[in-house]
């Protein structure tokens, strides 16, 4: 059984879900998700002999939602993971992240390799710091229409998403999935001028098999306090670029695994395809070449749980 409790970590209280015994595996969700995004992974990972812990990260679900935008930098988020590992009585852990959880996992391995047995990222590739602040770069490239820039505007996306939380989540999850209509080309996530993020997203009459009404119930409840805490992660993108200057050019050295869907927009961001193609040369610690999941969208571990679980178990055992 998955058990739930609150843990004091790094100046905040985090809600965690945990199950199993053995080496610790920390699962870090992304946006707009919660610990529940990993519900398909608990059983297989615990059956394989691991202790699995998935927190609601700061700004999400039952965990604390600091009001200060500056409390959501990548250093705060890595600090939460480090503090969580310690609070759970461990010195080291495997760290796995999806979407925003992936940069947190990658940076935990980059900044605290002494505490990471192995690191896996889903959707978002390993960090290679660019030469320009990301919000500024995307603003210039796409005329302010890239979704990062839309999310960066105080109160705007917060209000749009909060009007009807369940509809927001249903549209967001469907539109970014491999189940949505596909033209054969992954498009950049741009926001129509004056239209909002959700305006052009399809709203499915029937949910795809991998997303149930019960899943939506859990997600909707987890955003009962709004989206501001989660959106504040995006509002620190340029600040994160500044804070990580000392690690410019640094490479993750711990054993690593990267997995993504071929219909996911994130691996198609400007520069991402070229980076992914070069990863085996850039990262000697990469356990195997990046795993591309055919027909899969953004929600890798939910859309393709069997394939993700098999790859994770094999990777974790190889790191032991």
Q: Out of 56, 64, 80, 99, which one is annotated catalytic?
A: 99
Taking CA 125 as the corner, what is the angle to CA 124 and CA 127, rounded to the nearest 5 degrees?
Answer: 110
Rounded CA gap, 171 and 95, in Å?
Answer: 29
Burial class (CB in 10 A: 0-12, 13-18, 19+), 268: middle
Is 114 among the catalytic positions?
A: no
Q: Which residues pair with residue 261 across a beta bridge?
A: 293
Is 47 among the catalytic positions?
A: no
Half-sphere exposure of 160 (CA within 13 A, CB side): 16
Rounded CA gap, 132 and 34, in Å?
Answer: 30
Rounded CA gap, 10 and 290, in Å?
Answer: 33
Residue 297's SS3 state is: coil
Tokens of 20: 């199993």
Q: Out of 39, 76, 107, 298, which one is annotated catalytic?
A: 298
Tokens of 192: 């129509």
Rounded CA gap, 120 and 52, in Å?
Answer: 14
Candidates 89, 111, 88, 109; CA nearest to 97 is: 109
Rounded CA gap, 201 and 237, in Å?
Answer: 25
Tokens of 40: 């398909």
* Beta strand pairing call for 12-19 and 24-28: unpaired
315 close to 291: Cβ distance less than 8 angstroms: no
Instruction: Map tokens 């009807």 to a residue.
Output: 164
Known catalytic residues are 99, 298
């Amino acid at each position: 059984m998955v058990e739930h409790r609150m843990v004091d970590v790094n100046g905040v209280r985090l809600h965690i879900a945990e199950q199993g015994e053995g080496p610790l595996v920390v699962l870090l969700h992304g946006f707009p998700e919660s610990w529940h995004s990993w519900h398909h992974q608990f059983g297989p990972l615990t059956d394989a002999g691991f202790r699995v812990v998935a927190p609601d990260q700061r700004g999400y679900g039952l965990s604390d939602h600091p009001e200060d935008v500056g409390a959501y930098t990548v250093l705060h988020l890595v600090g939460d993971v480090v503090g969580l590992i310690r609070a759970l009585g461990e010195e080291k852990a495997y760290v796995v992240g999806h979407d925003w959880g992936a940069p947190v996992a990658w940076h935990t391995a980059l900044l605290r390799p002494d505490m990471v047995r192995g690191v896996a990222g889903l959707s978002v590739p390993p960090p290679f710091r660019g030469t320009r602040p990301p919000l500024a770069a995307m603003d210039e490239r796409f005329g302010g229409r890239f979704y990062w820039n839309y999310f960066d505007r105080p109160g705007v996306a917060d209000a749009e998403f909060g009007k009807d939380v369940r509809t927001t989540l249903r549209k967001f999850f469907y539109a970014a999935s491999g189940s949505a209509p596909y033209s054969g080309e992954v498009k950049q996530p741009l926001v129509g001028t004056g239209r909002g993020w959700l305006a052009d997203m399809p709203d499915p009459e029937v949910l795809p098999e991998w997303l149930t009404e019960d899943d939506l119930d859990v997600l909707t409840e987890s955003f009962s306090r709004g989206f501001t805490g989660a959106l504040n992660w995006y509002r620190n993108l340029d600040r994160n670029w500044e804070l990580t200057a000392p690690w410019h050019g640094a490479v993750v050295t711990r054993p690593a695994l990267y997995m993504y869907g071929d219909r996911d927009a994130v691996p198609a961001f400007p520069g991402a395809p070229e980076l992914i193609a070069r990863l085996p040369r850039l990262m000697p610690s990469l356990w195997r070449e990046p795993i591309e999941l055919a027909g899969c969208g953004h929600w890798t571990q939910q859309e393709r749980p069997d394939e993700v679980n098999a790859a994770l178990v094999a990777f974790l055992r190889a790191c032991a």
